Structure 1
Amino acid sequence: MARKFFVGGNFKMNGTLSSLKGIVNTLNEAKLTSETDIVIAPPSLYLIPLKEQLRKDIAVAAQNAYLASSGAYTGEISATQLHDVGIPWVIIGHSERRALFFEADDVVAKKTKAALDAGLSVILCIGETLQEREDDKTIEVVERQLTAVKKELKDWSKVVIAYEPVWAIGTGKVATPAQAQEVHHKIRAWAQKSISQDVAENTRVIYGGSVTAANSRELATQPDIDGFLVGGASLKPEFVDIINAKVSKL
């Protein structure tokens, strides 16, 4: 069975209730392909009101969850709490959290396991810095990040891997379709070698890093690119075109 295309919108720490409701209204009224799974990730404060307003064929995701289910962790939200209020997805391991909050590979791995154990689906972010790319360490880095998660997981069926080269996030730079395809192919080869043929064939590997309506259609033609995790463009009307990138008739 072919992997279903997947497009996520990471709003990051952007928007107000009013402006984000405007984005939801745009999505609610848009003609969107049924051949793509769609998820939006607003700031946690707005998860519930936007979920209540959003059309049913679009899911919501938290941008982070802590690795413990409860306890004295001021300011954190657990995967158990997210599941309790009906939030089905969470983004784990985004490079901004790895850098700003010093989330090491093992922490990301434990967060991923905690989210899955709580019943959530996970968008697992991996990717190399510009220096690592220039040092020809891209594959070494992504395999290291994935290996840490592999040590914690037995079931990958509710994981979407988001390859996001750090040098392309919010910079306007984007990996060429060939560059992105090469890494995605290597990720799938790693999964086949390290986990199983089934995981390699069925796990969706999506691309993130300055994805726009202008470049999404060509990226979507690559055989191992199963969708996108979109940052800034998810806050704009062009997000509709990115969602529909795989279906030219729309």
Structure 2
Amino acid sequence: MRRKLAAGNWKMNGVTASLAEVEALIAAHPTPRSEVLLCPPATLVGQMAALAVGRIAVGGQDCHMKAAGAHTGDIAAAMLKDAGASHVILGHSERRADHAETNAMVRAKAATAREADLVAVICVGETEAERDAGSTLEVIGRQLYDSTPDGATGANTVIAYEPVWAIGTGRTPTLEQIAEVHDFMRSELSGRFGAAEAGKIRLLYGGSVKPSNAKEIFATSNVDGALVGGASLKAADFGAILAALDEA
């Protein structure tokens, strides 16, 4: 059985005072059935990891393709690990768009993350134009294959499907559309890595997940949890999503 995962991406939000929300989340949900992961800005990884040790996993939001070197402003996977991180988000649509990240770059980052003993949370998702053109599965299939390194397992890889047009917009795909993509990803992973190993890789849905729609999303085929954006910044909102996942 795959343990459910509630992951929060704080994006470019949060200062030291924001850690009060983490304390409130832990207090309200001391023993969740699901695994909980929060990915704050790099400036907070160490502090959050120290605060949440043994209770909430902490991750970075990106890492460089290289293990070290002359890359001013970047952060290495080993640095995240040293700060207390266990995961790192890679290939988020905002990174792909704002920093021109390609599938090959994401794949290289995922391989470097694995070498540093970080779980790679690899993001895939189609734009509204690609959805309207009927090419969603083609786009997802290409991103999934090209962004995921060989040797992916349930222990070192999580896949997050985030339709670009649903992120932060309040719009969500229909449950049928979510199921179609998640079932497709499971099938594609099975064809590449074998059904047994693919069955251990958790598939998250992300894109305007909120307390009001979480329960029905988590009941959808092959949805093993969520990658949550804005709602993860507040303990009450993220806690409600976590509670819905625990009940799924």
Normalising to structure 1: TM-score of the pair? 0.94
> What is the SS of the residue equivalent to 1:228?
strand
The 5 A counterparts of 1:64-213 are 64-150=62-148, 152-157=149-154, 158-213=156-211
CA distance in 2, matches of 1:205, 1:28: 24
> What is the SS of the residue equivalent to 1:244?
helix
* Contact preservation (8 Å) 2:26, 2:55: no
Structure 1, residues 134-173: CA drift from partner, whole Å, max 9, x if none?
Answer: 01111111110111134x3223231010000000001111
CA distance in 1, matches of 2:231, 2:53: 20
Note closer, same or farther for the CA distance 1:135–1:32 as it changes in structure 2 (3 Å cut). farther
CA distance in 1, matches of 2:34, 2:137: 28
Residue 237 (structure 2) pairs with residue 238 (structure 1): yes
Residue 8 (structure 2) pairs with residue 9 (structure 1): yes
CA distance in 2, matches of 1:10, 1:209: 11
Structure 1, residues 22-44: CA drift from partner, whole Å, max 9, x if none?
Answer: 21121121125532010001110
CA distance in 1, matches of 2:71, 2:94: 20
CA distance in 2, matches of 1:96, 1:6: 22
C-alpha deviation, 1:50, in angstroms: 1.6
Runs of 4+ in 1 over 6 A off after TM superposition: none
C-alpha deviation, 1:53, in angstroms: 1.6
* Structure 2, unpaired ranges of 5+: none
Note closer, same or farther for the CA distance 1:248–1:119 as it changes in structure 2 (3 Å cut). closer
> What is the SS of the residue equivalent to 2:151?
coil
Residue 32 (structure 2) pairs with residue 34 (structure 1): yes
Normalising to structure 2: TM-score of the pair? 0.95
CA distance in 1, matches of 2:21, 2:32: 19
2:224 aligned partner:
226
Identity %: 38
* Contact preservation (8 Å) 2:125, 2:162: yes
* Structure 1, unpaired ranges of 5+: none
> What is the SS of the residue equivalent to 1:87?
coil
* Contact preservation (8 Å) 2:124, 2:161: yes
Residue identity in the other structure for 1:101: H
* Contact preservation (8 Å) 2:92, 2:122: yes
Residue identity in the other structure for 2:186: R
CA RMSD of aligned residues (A): 1.4
